[in-house]
Structure 1
């Protein structure tokens, strides 16, 4: 019997970075097949190839034994493939039925809109009854919980005709009860003949619900097996690789133990998510964290477990419901504004530099100088000393090796990702910060730029700063951290001292999921 979906020898690269290298994967009808691996292993990229979002540079895609060429998601949908993405693709102001109608084939386009919508409402009720869902087709998406929104995404692909379902980290933002209910639904669909791909990192979900498991690492397929044939420890080792000691400059690994605490969080809680809603699980659920002067603390974990919210909370951009945040010599941060916190010596390097760290339409010099406008270094916002701004920016560009700057007045959007990141670091380090927050500092950078960014973070540590590095890239945490922790469901669930054991971190990431 032919596989429902079969991907063979898939290659895919982005600007010279090889994301998939001879990757293999298949799923059978009536099967739940888990795709396991750490962040950056290529799982989502491979599935984006399967649903037509990315075109492979080499390899073949077969559906039910027949090779196909997918020119886009509509081709995949016509072939019966649907994907529920980790970040939902719903229009919050629309109702459930309206969102589902957007994803429906245009077969009934000649029908009046109201008649088509009425048919969708009836189809939603019928499908909900079959799956045990409780969804009102006339409710607006903005009124739904996270779990309900996920059910809408599933209904959307099923009602569009999908028999091959791909779910990308489907339980990352669900409670245990919601996750169990969802995965039982996936088993039900498989028992009725569908093929289900479960992209995940959670060992418990894999062992309980998957018929087979494929492990990916660094863009390659490592192995495929039945969950019962391998222990959890062996699966962790396959997913994250052998334990390796991260490279560290000598005599720095114990510096944090000797130095005074610089940043301390105790019992920090917040129900607010990044989007500002208050539904589902709390974003931060009793975070306890201490980072010492002269130390890099690396925080590992799968995205969506509160890491971004933790950084926002420290910077004063997320309201807290409980807990304390202290900086040595400055006291409790809870009443301090974001501007005040910068004045207290906190530097911030966010994960999305183009959205949160840089203004793409402003110049290199303006993006650099804006970090000290509030401090009055360049006059006041109504009259800025451009000569001094350019002098400081020119020195920073040279000192931090920011390449591609033909003119300080060119738009910052013309810089490459690595040089844009170096400009952000130059600005944030211009005032010798006492606390550095860096989220995914080498995301999207090549090896050379990554090494330069890491060197700057180590230099800040060696000059006495307390450095908190948050990253979904386990290799980055291992390369930088003097101590490391793991964040799961809004909590820090483990602390590890250098040399950090890769397998121990991997185990903590899955054991508390």
Structure 2
């Protein structure tokens, strides 16, 4: 029987956002998946527990097999847990050596000297070789590939002697083949007795690597799935089984339309020049492995950092960066990662109908009577959402409904170009089908759809929307 590290039974945790009830059980050498119903509530709170930001207020706690109090187990978590996500820190000059030593757990001058010497030891050199890391210690963290950054994080966990490694949403940052390579590195840690939590929303990834999946639903540990139960049972537990496709969403063969967006040698430092075209009805995908391209494009369309050179042509007309503000929201739609967050496209304090009218009425001809237009919008929207929902503030809507509504808003507005920044990031896998269906509907209306994301291969493997796959085209960076 494996040595138990921590166990919390009927744990009650309180934060500013409410009360959470988590049952946690982790033993040496275990790889456990954690799947949440809503990342921004339950998911954030669960991660905060391992960041030392969430306190245990009730329940039974055990540490290394012995019953203990909340203070002891919280101290153990702070001292023995390392959380790894896609953030590489802000310091551009931070080196690999800094990352392992300066950001490790050593504090005194003597400890730092010992650790610096240990970096040159045979054990450390052998571990680096097994992980596939062949860079100089003076290599800047910013110059590493995403895979090598995660490999270095695995090495740091081993080097500092942490007992529990928490990996946050690897599948959003790594390609499928890189996920497998990293998990080979993680297997080395498991072999050394370290425990690993895979905090992710890609169920197929966890099915491959987790020996158990803790399902978090409605702010509590709802169920524990074991390998013999992997499969549709996960979605049954979460209540995410979807009804069959409505008749009006039947697939049609895509017809290639005219060129809507044409970009030629568009230079947005530090990115290489971009050149590509997107036609009406097409879904174009630009791969952004380390989120740098997405950030720069986001600053271009929603900030003040324009391009230095090149041509941006929309529907046959060339635009300067200074002219984008005039057409964003009408001719160009921008769908950000979390559309209902600050800076998104939705207004939570307004009703759904008001959200639609705010974007559609300014686009209408002046002779149209507002009352008649509002009535027409409401009539059209009731084909998608119940009337009573449309008259309620969006803050009262569930997350899946708000997400679907954000795409429906663009469907009604029908811009020539719809740019989607990381549409699948942070979204539960059960919502991917809905997002894909909405993207197809927007493309079917004649929009040119441009997706910027870190990966889409795993999503394509799972989707049964053949029209999406036919319309999808990859853009080379």
Please say which of residues 261-270 and 209-218 is displaced more in the overlay. Answer: 261-270
1:432 matched residue in structure 2: 363
SS of residue matched to 1:93: coil
Do the aligned residues in 1 keep the contact of 2:95 with 2:138 (CA within 8 Å)? yes
- Say which SS state the counterpart of residue 36 (structure 1) adopts: strand
1:144/1:230 CA distance change after superposition, 3 Å: same
| 1:4 aligned onto 2:5 | yes
**TM superposition shift of 1:313:** 10
| CA-CA distance at 1:311 after TM superposition | 7.5
Q: Distance in 2 between matches of 1:263 and 1:424?
A: 30
CA contact (8 A) 2:331 2:415 kept: no
Please list, as runs of the form range in 1=range in 2, the aligned pairs for 1:357-436 lying within 5 A after superposition. 357=343, 418=349, 431-432=362-363
| Matched-pair contact (CA < 8 Å) for 2:84–2:153 | yes
Gaps of 5+ in 2: 366-393, 441-450, 469-477
Partner of 2:117: 119
Aligned to 2:389: none
More helix by share: 2
> TM-score, normalised on structure 2?
0.61
Q: 1:290 aligns with which of 257, 278, 281?
A: 281
Aligned-pair distance for 1:91?
3.3
Task: State the 1:173 CA deviation.
Answer: 2.4
Partner of 2:385: none
Distance, in Å, in 2 between the alignment partners of 1:452 and 1:34 is: 27
Deviation at 1:55, TM superposition (A): 3.1
Q: Which position in structure 1 is the counterpart of 2:316?
A: 331
Partner of residue 222, structure 1: 222
Paired residues for 1:47-446 under 5 Å: 47-56=47-56, 58-59=58-59, 62-66=62-66, 67=68, 69=70, 76-78=77-79, 80-89=80-89, 91-109=91-109, 115=113, 118-119=116-117, 121-122=119-120, 125=125, 127-129=127-129, 131-227=131-227, 229-238=228-237, 241-244=240-243, 290=281, 312=298, 315=301, 330-331=315-316, 337=321, 339-340=323-324, 342-343=326-327, 345-348=331-334, 350-351=336-337, 357=343, 418=349, 431-432=362-363, 446=395
Q: 1:50 to 1:148 in 2, by over 3 A?
A: same
Structure 1: 5+ residue runs without aligned partners?
Answer: 292-296, 359-399, 403-416, 435-444, 501-513
**Residues of 2 paired with 1:72 and 1:263: CA distance?**
62
Using the TM superposition, give the Cα deviation of residue 147 of structure 1 relative to its aligned residue in structure 2, in angstroms.
Answer: 1.4
In the TM superposition, residue 332 of structure 1 has moved relative to its aligned partner by 6.9
2:432 is the counterpart of 1:483: no
Alignment of 1:468-507 (within 5 A): 470=423, 472-473=426-427, 483-484=438-439, 489-490=455-456, 493=460, 494=463, 496=465
Query: In the aligned structure 1, how far is the partner of 2:456 from the partner of 2:265?
Result: 9
- The alpha-carbon deviation at position 352 of structure 1 amounts to 7.1
Q: How many residues align?
A: 409
Provide the secondary structure at the position in 1 that maps to 2:215: strand
Q: Report the secondary structure of 2:172's partner residue.
A: coil
Contact 2:235 2:241 (C-alpha < 8 Å) held by counterparts: no
User: Displacement of 1:14 after TM fit?
Assistant: 6.2
Q: What SS does the corresponding residue of 2:22 show, helix, strand or coil? A: strand
Asked whether the equivalents of residues 158 and 189 of structure 2 are also in contact (C-alpha less than 8 Å), the reply is: no
User: C-alpha separation between the residues in 1 aligned to 2:85 and 2:270?
Assistant: 21
Shift, 1:196, TM fit: 1.2
CA contact (8 A) 1:9 1:59 kept: yes
Q: Residue 316 and residue 160 in structure 1: after superposition, are their counterparts in 2 closer, same or farther (change >3 A)?
A: same
| Partner residue in 1 for 2:396 | 447
Q: Secondary structure at the match of 1:290?
A: coil
Give yes or no for contact 2:340–2:402 (8 Å, CA) kept in 1.
Answer: no
Aligned to 1:26: 25
What is the CA distance between 1:319 and its match in structure 2?
10
Match of 2:474 in 1: none
- Any idea what the Cα deviations from partners look like across 1:399-432, whole Å, max 9, x if unmatched? x9x8xxxxxxxxxxxxxx757x999999866743
Change (3 A) 1:87 1:23: same
CA offset at residue 290 of structure 1?
A: 2.9
Would you say the 8 A contact 1:35–1:197 is kept in 2? yes
Spell out, residue by residue over 1:386-407, the C-alpha distance to the aligned partner (whole angstroms, 9 max, x if none): xxxxxxxxxxxxxx9x8xxxxx
